[in-house]
Structure 1
């Protein structure tokens, strides 16, 4: 079909289904890991191919599960406040903004359009599947939910959240709880924890703080980074890389990260002696001993570094090894702080030097089930406010890894300028032939 029309109802507010017992107090001070990304909206889209079986109204089933989930997850119904420190005011009165919507297409038609429509178009369909935040919205809500039902009975739930509330793992845990309650379970299987001193007091090492400062100060020479678009790293290429290493098990993340880093470096490199840095997000829960059920931000950053020529011209397995060795250094750097003079040491002055990679694979979004089966597809798109804070200010080249399909590993990419876009795609296609 040529045109997809998404009709939205007026937003309503979903509040906890019953009075909550605030065992942790009425204020939750944001941790050092929460604060740098507070006031930054993030969006995840979960697609489900079938309607909810046990309930005739998909929207009402999810709304009911959400209201019940807001009892144990009562901080979500609060707001951000500042009184000498930034904190979640657990009033419970603001609730969650909820929008019911419908689309005049099937899931197959919608996914075809999502895959092929330029995401930078102001009316792109993917941007109509979730609530689009403004800067004024962020202090007054922590979570926004939209459920869009399709003509085939499937549906898409779009969730936008203030990143200061939770990281991706935390939001996946919240949505799993909503799904369990929507399916009729008496309580979530995971007891939520929002205050955890093990996680919040240790999460920011000097190394991580230096990386955050680097991200905030990095100025690109190419502010015209292309908007997010979908690319696929072919399964055949990923499989060949994994099979080539016999003595160490190469992960899908390592293989895809190596392809992106090498191909981008080949496309944009000016000076083979200049530094090339792959910066990637790491879930730090297991390293910091975070309690089960902790849903606040508990991530750190790690980087692999080499000369651009080594990344661009080396064997792909050498690039995989660089990434693996960087991963192996994570526990020690969280413990000791590692190298903190990152910016001065690397002298990152060009956009060619740095690529930021974050993975949304296997963090829990695929396990969400509202009663129609588990998530068929996970998607995202950059909220305009997030783009302003993350990219237009610092021009950070970024890739977001999503769950793979049969065709390959799906990646949302905004890591090259328009001038280098064709070369980047050509390098991926060429590597698929030569690796």
Structure 2
């Protein structure tokens, strides 16, 4: 992809797009998984599309599809309110609408290079608002959309959606519905289902699993003496590609027996957790953590219905001292990651998380440099969203940060399929990480 790129964007004034027909006026409580403090921010995403659709204006097409989709997803057109004293979040289904901006950029799709992947130059230009983890979600629109026409005839769909209303799978479901309505379908293929009551805490809350809450939900774990990066140290972003050759080298490094069931995610997460911690040169006794989401769909009883678009995730977490992580064979680190994942996927775990969150006052999950936060979106289906221009050249998160990264399904410049993992680190740490990568899997 393009290393550096500069262009200008001309935006229209933001407008509210309401459901195209009258919708119910009611109050709907969010689940106790939805309304945890850690989800009080807007997730950003980008979709890049090639020219097509007989010269139709993508802004007009998407705007109409959005209004029609909101008839079915009418809570998204409402506003979040906070109930006191418990700080419980509810959605007032007011039909006020979501924010829509149309824009034009003096740049072409080809200017972004042969492979579109994070980091994307000037990605903020394709979003309505400055990107960040703002905790202000009460009383604001739940969705912001910007459609930016490109000089070549393609366009970029940028969104910022309140995490309290949907997780990655739910967001893709909503986007597919907007795409289907944009293509003239009378209703979404998958009808949306609220069903947030299925992920409410019990009364009184009953925590049935061991959650290591001090690792996942305790802000004191973000030790300021260890988690603050060097003052003024520049940050560098790079995406690392892992194709069949690299994954094979990793399995050999981990001494995975032939036929053993070790997932690609477990292997890659363990490998990068170990090497990221080494590159950041934490003290030998510093506690370092890896944390990632596990999708609860299909793992709870009663099962979540098809069409559920709320948050259905639990955090898995594992921790070691940096010294032990550095010195352990990769195979042992893989076992730790696999055990954390299995625990979070066990029966009753998500219900127990809901109880824990209510019991502890809906705490924020740990955000710290010593916590490596990973989201696997390779199966989320972001690239399958189609507004009438075919599938996206790139569809997925808008950016990664020094605290969090993603696993993305991509093709490299040779057309080889694999996983890209964008990382953001101080320049010196990135240089050390690149040396580790080259020695371990890129030789």
In 2, distance between residues paired with 1:303 and 1:136? 27
CA drift of 1:307 comes to: 4.3
In 1, distance between residues paired with 2:367 and 2:192? 43
In 2, distance between residues paired with 1:248 and 1:28? 46
Q: Please say if residues 41 and 137 of structure 2, whose CA atoms lie closer than 8 Å, have aligned partners that are also in contact.
A: no
Identify the residue that residue 45 of structure 1 maps to in structure 2: 46
Q: Please say if residues 404 and 410 of structure 1, whose CA atoms lie closer than 8 Å, have aligned partners that are also in contact.
A: yes
Which TM-score applies when normalising by structure 1? 0.81
In structure 2, stretches of 5+ residues that fail to align are 357-365
SS for the counterpart of 2:298 is helix
* Cα 1:37–1:429 shift into 2, 3 Å: same
**Residues 20-419 of structure 1 aligned to structure 2 (within 5 Å):** 20=23, 22=24, 26-35=26-35, 36-52=37-53, 56-84=56-84, 85-92=88-95, 94-111=96-113, 125-132=122-129, 139-201=139-201, 207=211, 210-215=214-219, 217-220=221-224, 221-224=226-229, 227=235, 229-235=237-243, 236-242=245-251, 245-272=257-284, 274-288=286-300, 289-330=303-344, 331-332=346-347, 334=349, 353-381=370-398, 397-406=403-412, 408-414=418-424, 416-419=425-428
Q: Please say if residues 32 and 199 of structure 2, whose CA atoms lie closer than 8 Å, have aligned partners that are also in contact.
A: no
Identify the residue that residue 363 of structure 2 maps to in structure 1: none
Identify the residue that residue 422 of structure 1 maps to in structure 2: 431
How many residue pairs were aligned?
403
* Cα 1:423–1:97 shift into 2, 3 Å: same
CA drift of 1:143 comes to: 0.2
In 1, distance between residues paired with 2:350 and 2:136? 38
CA drift of 1:417 comes to: 4.1
CA drift of 1:413 comes to: 2.3
CA drift of 1:113 comes to: 11
Q: Please say if residues 50 and 153 of structure 1, whose CA atoms lie closer than 8 Å, have aligned partners that are also in contact.
A: yes
In 2, distance between residues paired with 1:149 and 1:260? 37
SS for the counterpart of 2:266 is helix
> What RMSD over aligned residues (CA atoms) do the two structures have, in Å?
3.3
Q: Please say if residues 242 and 249 of structure 1, whose CA atoms lie closer than 8 Å, have aligned partners that are also in contact.
A: no
SS for the counterpart of 2:441 is helix
CA drift of 1:378 comes to: 2.5
CA drift of 1:233 comes to: 3.5
Identify the residue that residue 344 of structure 1 maps to in structure 2: none
In 2, distance between residues paired with 1:362 and 1:197? 26
Q: CA offsets, 1:358-412, max 9 Å, x none?
A: 22221121221111212221243459xxx8xxxxxxxx83222222333642223
Q: Please say if residues 196 and 290 of structure 1, whose CA atoms lie closer than 8 Å, have aligned partners that are also in contact.
A: no
More helix by share: 1
* Cα 1:50–1:314 shift into 2, 3 Å: farther
* Cα 1:413–1:3 shift into 2, 3 Å: closer
* Cα 1:402–1:200 shift into 2, 3 Å: farther
* Cα 1:322–1:39 shift into 2, 3 Å: closer
In 2, distance between residues paired with 1:356 and 1:69? 32
In 2, distance between residues paired with 1:350 and 1:12? 34
Which stretch shows the higher mean deviation, 246-255 or 65-74?
246-255
Q: Please say if residues 233 and 428 of structure 1, whose CA atoms lie closer than 8 Å, have aligned partners that are also in contact.
A: no
CA drift of 1:197 comes to: 2.1
* Cα 1:135–1:352 shift into 2, 3 Å: closer
CA drift of 1:58 comes to: 1.5
* Cα 1:96–1:116 shift into 2, 3 Å: closer
In 2, distance between residues paired with 1:274 and 1:146? 43
* Cα 1:77–1:265 shift into 2, 3 Å: same
In 1, distance between residues paired with 2:212 and 2:178? 32
* Cα 1:422–1:404 shift into 2, 3 Å: same
* Cα 1:56–1:87 shift into 2, 3 Å: same
In 1, distance between residues paired with 2:38 and 2:327? 36
In 1, distance between residues paired with 2:375 and 2:10? 32
CA drift of 1:420 comes to: 2.4
In structure 1, stretches of 5+ residues that fail to align are 341-348, 388-395
Q: Please say if residues 231 and 410 of structure 1, whose CA atoms lie closer than 8 Å, have aligned partners that are also in contact.
A: yes
SS for the counterpart of 1:329 is helix
